[in-house]
Structure 1
Amino acid sequence: MPLKPAPGKFCLMKPLFNTLTIPTGRHKMISGMRVLGFSFLLTWFSASGFLSSTPSAARSDLLTLLVFTISLFVAAIFHKVIAKHLACSWISELTIGVLACVGTILPTVLNEDIVIYGLCPLFTGFGLALLSLQWAQLFSELKTSAVITQTIVAQMIMSLLHFANSFMPPLPEACVRGSLLIASAATLIMLLTQTQIKNQRIANNKTSFAQRISLQDKPEAQHCLQWKPFVRFIVAINLWGIAINQIYNIYRYCSPVDFSSLSMPAAVIEVLFLGCLLALVNFKRIKDTNLYTIIASTALLSFLLVPILGFENPIPFYAIFLSYCTLSILTWTLSARMCEAYHIDSVIVYGCSIGSFLGMQIVIARAFSPDMFTTIASLPTQQNILCLIGACMSLIAYHLVLNKKSALWLNNQPNISQQSPKDSTVKPATDPFAHWDQIAHDFGLTPRESEVVLLFARGRSYERIQETLVISRGTVNYHMSNAYRKLGISSRQELLDLIDKSAINTTIESSNQ
């Protein structure tokens, strides 16, 4: 028997308040804590290599990044074991932050080999890896749009801290970097505690219809197909890392430019650029894909400016500094997109992506000695060729993950038709929305209302519905309000229950016939 609208129910404004994400004071506070704590972590990577430091501290930083890289890749391999131990107590989290802080400060003060080559890189590298994975775990539970906004704000705060640190001598600067790691760890444990409480409440509630469907829609035969876009993504991140570190080496060994004197204006330019990106994102003037294209174009521009303007001009250096920042944003946000789209463990995704961009590629770049690099880039022609090679690598990376045909922008689940013949015996999951057209017809929904509500029922956000149907936010709100009034419901859960009930009734009628 077809379902009929509930008589006498009129819900015009109620659905909007139940479906839109309205930030409360508590949500704003949690978001602010997340942004601040994450920016404190990023400050360590920003200052390392760009600000002046003692020779012993520079060697310790290189070994720290090596330990950091190895720890992240090991965590990605043993992700099931590592994921169970990411939730730490207050004492253990603060201990990790304090050890990382001490490991950052001591090499500036002491010049003992056991300190520089042993204890400090071990403590700091392991602490950075653990903090990065824990921040990744928090980001993996957010929507990609939220990760984009918060990452941009965190990078802006990091740039301001970098600007402030550029006025300091090596020892105070190392103390500030180490103290920020403790602050990042303290902020992280507060956020993880809130997340655990929230997840516990969700676990105690009844499993929703959407959760049951998501479990049905992920048969084991599809799991292996998720690795193809992941491999493309990691290859792209490494290409960007190799390219940007290659031009960094050219400036480091072959240019008369003094990094320390240019760090302050570079940080100001970075804040202004990120402020423009943030304004575009907040006012919904740009899509996610276009934002990523702007970031990738910024990296490409840094390679092309060197042959055009030459190494004596500081403008290419500002572009390099800006590219490091924007590619870091790209790495974190695309990693969140991978977790959201393909349901891959965040430890695997972030372990490989962050370990590649902020770890492995920086270690490889700094491992080059001046004599070795100047041998292959001593002449302007050789330097220009290397820059053009970097530009080509950047274009290849862009087409691997950011073009319209990339696997990263396909539907959240791989197509079952792409299964191999040996998996053809796996029975595909029943589409829970197969009878949606009949429901829309019974309740008198218009075609556009039907499209909007169906996308919302499938888990699409309001922003994604806008992009898919090419309509404004106000139009989405209008259609949702009318559809909710006709359906006699007031929340997404009631919508899913309605679809579930319709599917059960249809199944019963079919069996009776």
Structure 2
Amino acid sequence: MSNSVEPGKQANQLHIAAISSGLGFFWCCLFSELTGFSAQGEEALVWWNPIACRIAFFACFALFACFIAHLPFGAMGKRVRKNAIALVVASVAAFVATGVVEAAGAAIPVGIGIARDALGGLGAACLLFLWIPLIARTSRETLIASLSLSAVLGSGFSLGLKMMGDPAACFFLAASALACLGFAQLLSSSGIDLEGNAGISSAHQTEAKGIPLAQSKKNAQLSWAFGIVNVIYGIVFGVGAGNLLQVNQGPAVTCGCALLLAIGASAAHLFAHRSQGRVQQSTVLRMLFPVFVVALVPMSFLNSEGALFVICNLLILGSFTFLALVSIAFEIKGANERSASPLFFVGMSQMTLAGGMSLGFALDLIPGVTGVFSLNVLSAVALALVIVLAILITLTQSRMVDAQAEVDAAVAQARAIAEQAEQGRWKTRCAEIASDSKLSARETEVFLLLAKGRGTEHIQNKLGISSHTVKTHTYNVYKKLGVKNREELLDLVEGEK
């Protein structure tokens, strides 16, 4: 996230409020699934049902992220957007249906619950990627503030949802998904410009034109280490969240989950705001090593029923929020810097992270299945993975940084060549217009400055002539070109007339 590519505008408070409110409902859906939004109903069935539901949720989330990352043109387009909206509506219908069944006093079969959460994973991924083209157009300050505030709001929403009980929780979760979708559609179609420039007229203009997949892959240069690192982090997060699903989730644990999620979001805002884009992603990943060690070492020896064991898992939960937010901000701005599609960057990141979390939840099934493999041993395995991860990043960091520097240099060179070519085309176009319109030498000089958007005072000083002479030449230029004002002249130069 380099300052050189930032719009240079201060964060717009109205835009932050609109984005945070909409995305807050997405985080509500994600956090509620992550921490178990209806633990009482699930406990009434079989012990592994809550974990199996989360495996299905994050596996389907990863599948949709993979699909989005590999879109041929790097943009969703009409058909994909419509299908994504349809998946959100289908997931909402599934949660409403199960809520109605629970309200009637009937039990939800295990298979139906897992299928519902699998569809919920697809719906949640759709919500996120419907928002990515919108937030990718914001300034750096707005992006960071909006992501962090939305996660704080989402943690509060998820806390209220978990306090409701099964039927009401299903209805609130469905309403949250619809609210998130509604905010995204409203911002897409309202013509609000999130960068603070001239207004936009349609949803097609809010979404970036798109960058072909081949070009995104070439410019992004994502290494195999990137995927492995994200998967391992996801496994650790999945193990921590899975552990929390298997402890007694009283009010203290429920409030603790919301608190640590909010703290993680606040830490992400503080870090991203102060870093000013100077920090490499590998540095961000290394920052979490001490946190994981502090959490996983005690978990390898503590009683899984104790309060300290729960606190350690809550610490991992807060780390998830921190990494998720920083990662999304880094990927969006990294995509802009490298002329790659934000959907590709964020899609690859979320695919590997969510896939790892699904694996982490799956590992949490092992203690119950084997009967001898405890949560303490599982925590020790997670600690071993973190140590392997630390070694991997240490060994590959220099190569990753060098590869990123080479890509950045290549992209900068390509941009410079493109700008020179565009400048050459502009000069050729102006020369053709001047020749065809039979402009005099002085009129041609005035025309070139007008085509650059210069005003009367600048032209007067540049050419050393009076303002009256500038106006006379401007009148003659307009007359010979057959235009009435500056806008029509610029349209003519740009080939739009």
Q: Structure 1 length normalisation: TM-score?
A: 0.61
Residue 320 (structure 1) shift: 2.1
Specify whether residues 430 and 75 from structure 1 end up closer, same or farther in structure 2 by C-alpha distance, changes over 3 A only: closer
The aligned amino acid for 2:13 is K
Equivalent residue in structure 2 for 1:74, among 53, 67, 70: 67
1:148 maps to which residue? Answer: 144
Partner of 1:245 in structure 2?
A: 238
Greater CA deviation, 194-203 or 58-67? Answer: 194-203
Q: Structure 1: which 5+ residue stretches go unaligned?
A: 1-18, 205-217, 418-425, 434-491, 499-513
Residue identity matched to 1:334: F
Residue matched to 1:390: 385
Flag the 1:252–1:99 CA change in 2: closer, same or farther, 3 A. Answer: closer
Match of 2:401 in 1: 407
Partner of residue 50 from structure 1, selected from 18, 27, 35: 35
Q: Deviations over 1:331-388 (max 9, x none)?
A: 3223224312322222322222223323x233333345355665573385x3453142
AA of the residue aligned to 1:101: V
Give the 5 Å matches for 1:86-101.
88=81, 97-101=88-92
After superposition, the Cα gap between the structure-2 partners of 1:78 and 1:400, relative to the gap in structure 1 and judged at 3 Å, is farther
Contact 2:239/2:361 (<8 A) preserved: no
Match of 2:331 in 1: 335
Q: How do residues 342-361 of structure 1 correspond to structure 2 at under 5 angstroms?
A: 342-358=338-354, 360-361=355-356
Shift in Å, 1:189: 0.7
Query: Hey, what does 1:185 align to over in structure 2?
Result: 181
Amino acid at match of 1:34: I
Instruction: Say which is worse superposed, 37-46 or 280-289, in terms of deviation.
Output: 280-289
Q: Does 1:131 align with 2:119?
A: no
* CA apart distance, 1:181: 0.6
Change (3 A) 1:63 1:337: same
The letter for the 2-side match of 1:242 is I
Counterpart of 1:317 in structure 2 is: 313
Higher relative contact order (CA 8 A, sep 6+): 1
Q: In the aligned structure 2, how far is the partner of 1:138 from the partner of 1:42? A: 16
Q: In 2, are the aligned partners of 1:245 and 1:362 still within 8 Å (CA)? A: yes
Counterpart-to-counterpart distance in 2, 1:103 and 1:263? 25
1:104 aligns with 2:100: no
Shift of 1:252: 5.0
Letter in 1 for 2:19: R
Give 1:236's aligned residue: 229
Query: What secondary structure sits across from 2:73 in the alignment?
Result: helix
Compare 40-49 and 371-380 and name the one that shifted more: 371-380
| Alpha-carbon contact 2:219-2:338 (below 8 Å) kept | yes
Q: Secondary structure at the match of 1:78?
A: coil
Q: Is the 8 A contact 1:39 1:157 kept in 2?
A: yes
Q: Give 1:165-180 correspondences, 5 Å limit.
A: 165-180=161-176
Aligned length: 391
The question of whether the paired residues in 2 share the 8 Å contact of 1:67 and 1:126 is answered with yes
The one-letter amino acid paired with 2:91 is A
> How far is 1:389 from its partner?
0.9
Bigger shift: residues 300-309 or 320-329? 300-309
Change in CA separation of 1:191 and 1:300 when aligned onto 2, cut-off 3 Å: farther
Name the CA distance, whole Å, in 1 between partners of 2:213 and 2:56.
40
2:33 matched to 1:39?
A: no
**Is the 8 Å Cα contact of residues 50 and 260 (structure 1) preserved in structure 2?**
no
Query: Residue 306 of structure 1 is aligned with which of 299, 318, 329?
Result: 299
> How much does 1:34 deviate?
0.8
Q: After superposition, what is the alpha-carbon deviation per residue over 1:388-445, rounded to whole angstroms, capped at 9, x for unaligned? A: 21331452575589x677439945944459xxxxxxxx99965979xxxxxxxxxxxx
Larger radius of gyration: 2
In 1: Cα distance, 2:414 partner to 2:23 partner: 43
Separation in 1, partners of 2:33, 2:419: 52
Q: Distance in 2 between matches of 1:179 and 1:221?
A: 38
Name the counterpart of 1:15: none
Alpha-carbon deviation of 1:240? 0.7
Match of 2:255 in 1: 264
Q: 1:187 to 1:397 in 2, by over 3 A?
A: farther
Render the CA deviation track for 1:78-100: whole Å, top value 9, x for unaligned: 343862237858xx887654433
State the shift of 1:61 in Å: 5.5
Whether the aligned pair in 2 keeps the contact of 1:38 and 1:154 (CA below 8 Å) is yes
The alpha-carbon deviation at position 147 of structure 1 amounts to 2.8
Between the aligned residues of both structures, percent identity stands at 11
Contact 1:250 1:383 in 2 (8 A): no
Deviation at 1:173, TM superposition (A): 1.7
Query: Where does the alignment leave 5 or more consecutive residues of structure 2 unmatched?
Result: 1-6, 102-106, 202-210, 421-451, 459-497
